[in-house]
Structure 1
C-alpha cells in the first residue's frame, strides 16, 4: 500500500543501527517523534501524520526488532533503553538538536519515558503505555510477586502466536493470527479498520524479528508459578518488571509536561489485562495459579495513575484524557478526537 499524501519514507544509518522511518512536515519544523508499540511499526501512526499541523516535523521510526529497521538484537537487561538510545541516535543522524515532543504507544511509552530520564524533551504523550513497573507479575506498589519475576518475560508468549508470526500467516483463521489479535485487542471490537489499511498493518507486523533476539525473547526456568522467568534478550523480557521500570520519572529535576491518553475498554493495559498471567490464572486457563495473594492480576492502569499522581505532587504537569469505549489504540478507534486532544496539548505548550 502506497504512502498517504504528504507522508515520506526514508532510511538512515545511525551510529547504532540502520533505521527506517516515515515522516511528514518540513525538515526545520518542531520535531515530534512517535514511537510505536510491541508488534507494530512506524506505519501504525501514518494515518495521523497528514492531519498534524505543518509547523511540525513528525517522525515515526520502526524500532529495533520491527519493520524495515535493521534486525539487530535487543538487550533486554536495559529495559527499553535500547529503543530510547536508538531514537536519540536517529535524531542525531538527522541533525535534529531541538528537544522533541515524544509520543509513545504501549511499549513505546516506556521507551519515551526512558529517553526523558536521560535527555531533555519538550513533552511526553502516552497512549495506553505499559505500566511503570513493566508487564506482568507485580503488586500495585511495583514489588514483584516472586523474587525472580516469574510470570513475565519471553516464556509467557503463546508459542502458536510466535509460530504464525514466523510463518508469515496473514489470515484470520485462528485467534492466534496477528490479524485476529489486532481485531480483538488493538482497537475496540466496535471498530473496523478499512480493509486495505488492515492488510497493510498485518503485513507490517509480519516483518517482526522473531526468536530469542526479538519477539518474544529467551526465557529462564523457574521454580515459581508458572515455571518461567525472564531471560535477557528480546522484547518481552525488556518489558518484564525485572528490567522495565519508568517510575523514576517522578525524580526528574526538569519535568516535561505529560499527557496520558487511555482507552477505557483496553484489554491489553488494564487492571486485569486479558494478556496478564494473573488474569489468566484466575480464569483457570493456566494450571496451578497460586491465588490472588501470591499472584494477582497486575493493576496496570492504577499503577500508571499512581506514578503520574506522584509526578504532579513533585511539581510536574499531567493532563489525563480517557477515551470512553476505546481499546488499546484510541489513535485508531477514536482517531479524530485523539488528534484534536493531541493538537490542543501541543498548542497549549507554545510560548505566547
Structure 2
C-alpha cells in the first residue's frame, strides 16, 4: 500500500474499465488532475498536492501504485491509459479540470485532449514524451518502418529484474534508487522523501503486458523492434502519434515545463538506443543518417509551435538546475508557475 503524507487521502474508484487507486487533497476551486509517468505512481505528486490551495486528484495508472494490474494494449498507443483516466474522472464527476501530465503522463494528457476535450480546461506538460513517439525524426517520420530500437526489448533487463524483486538498495547503477538519483533528478539533488520515491517506482508491475512489454526481431540495427503489448511499446512511433492536437477546434492553453538536465527526455538522451549507439555504448550503430539520436525536446517544440500557429497557446519554461522532476527539484517555483497558469485559465 502507498505510504501517505499527512493530509493526503486515498480512495478506490471502480469503473467499467478498472479498479483505480486515487489520491486526493482538498481545497477550493476548479480541481487539478495529476497524471504520473512510467516507473512511478501518483505518490510522486504528494508534496505538490499538499502545496496547492485547490482540490487535487492524482490517479494511479493501470499497473502502477495501488491500481489494478491490467495488461496494456500497445497498439492503441497511450489510449488504454487515457481511457482509464477518463473513466475514473467520469465516475468521480470531475470535468473541465486543469490537467497535468508528467513524462509518459504528458502523452496520456495529450491523448485525453484528442479523445475527451470536455475533461480539460488547461494543460500542463512536464517533461512529456515526444508527441510522435520514440524512434522518430524531428518531422515525426519513423527511422525504420518497424520502430527498430524501441519498445519492450529496449529496457535494461537488470533494472526490470530489480523492479520485480523490490530492490531498495543503491548497490548497482541499475538499482531503482540509483536510477532515481542519476536520471529522475539533476546531480546533487536529495530530499527527505527518497524512500517514498523508490517505493513508488517499485509499485510498477513487470511483465510482457505491463513494464516493459514485448518485442519483435528486426533486420535493422540493433536487431529488435516494437511489440504490441506493454508499456514501452505504447510510446513507440509505430503506435503513437499525438499531433492531432494541432487541429483541435478547442485548444486549451499549454504550460510546458522541463529541466535543463533531464537525462530521460532530451535531444540526445541516454535512454535512446540511437544515442547509446552514437556514443559507442551499444555496438554496430549504422550512423547518423540511418539511426539519429531522437530530438525529443525539439519535436515537442515543433508540434507545439504548430499548435500555436493554428490558434493555440503555449509557454515553454526551462528549470535550469532541474532534471526530469522539476516539481520535486524546485517545488516552490513549480507551484507558483502552475497556480498562475491555472488561475489565468479558470
1:103 maps onto 2:100 in alignment: yes
The equivalent residue for 2:161 is 163
1:215 maps onto 2:237 in alignment: no
Which secondary structure state, in structure 2, belongs to the residue aligned with residue 262 of structure 1?
strand
Q: 1:287: Cα distance to partner?
A: 1.2
How far apart, in 1, do the equivalents of 2:194 and 2:238 lie?
34
Q: 1:29: Cα distance to partner?
A: 4.4
How far apart, in 2, do the equivalents of 1:245 and 1:172 lie?
36
Q: 1:6: Cα distance to partner?
A: 2.4
Q: 1:325: Cα distance to partner?
A: 1.7
How far apart, in 2, do the equivalents of 1:191 and 1:218 lie?
34
Match of 1:269 among 244, 262, 265: 265
Root-mean-square deviation (CA), in Å? 1.2
Q: Check conservation: 1:110, 1:244, Cα contact below 8 A.
A: no
Alignment of 1:304-315 (within 5 A): 304-315=300-311
Match of 1:143 among 124, 141, 144: 141
Q: 1:231: Cα distance to partner?
A: 0.7
| TM-score (norm. length: structure 1) | 0.95
The equivalent residue for 1:124 is 123
Which secondary structure state, in structure 2, belongs to the residue aligned with residue 309 of structure 1?
helix
How far apart, in 2, do the equivalents of 1:12 and 1:347 lie?
28
Q: Check conservation: 1:208, 1:215, Cα contact below 8 A.
A: yes
Q: Check conservation: 2:40, 2:203, Cα contact below 8 A.
A: no
The equivalent residue for 2:290 is 294
Can you give the 5+ residue segments of structure 1 that lack an aligned partner in the other structure? Answer: none
The equivalent residue for 2:316 is 320
The equivalent residue for 1:58 is 56
Which secondary structure state, in structure 2, belongs to the residue aligned with residue 305 of structure 1?
helix
Q: Check conservation: 2:137, 2:143, Cα contact below 8 A.
A: yes
How far apart, in 1, do the equivalents of 2:172 and 2:31 lie?
40
Q: 1:75: Cα distance to partner?
A: 0.7
How far apart, in 2, do the equivalents of 1:45 and 1:132 lie?
23
Q: Check conservation: 2:257, 2:319, Cα contact below 8 A.
A: yes
Aligned pair count? 343
Which secondary structure state, in structure 2, belongs to the residue aligned with residue 307 of structure 1?
helix
Q: Check conservation: 1:255, 1:316, Cα contact below 8 A.
A: yes
The equivalent residue for 2:8 is 7
Q: 1:346: Cα distance to partner?
A: 1.1
Alignment of 1:51-90 (within 5 A): 51-53=51-53, 56-90=54-88
How far apart, in 1, do the equivalents of 2:4 and 2:226 lie?
38
How far apart, in 1, do the equivalents of 2:171 and 2:235 lie?
28
Q: 1:10: Cα distance to partner?
A: 0.9
Q: Check conservation: 2:74, 2:233, Cα contact below 8 A.
A: yes
CA pair 2-210 structure 1, distance change in 2 beyond 3 A: closer
Match of 1:93 among 72, 91, 94: 91
Q: Check conservation: 2:259, 2:321, Cα contact below 8 A.
A: yes
Q: Check conservation: 1:279, 1:296, Cα contact below 8 A.
A: yes
Match of 1:183 among 181, 184, 198: 181
Q: 1:25: Cα distance to partner?
A: 1.2
Q: 1:66: Cα distance to partner?
A: 0.7
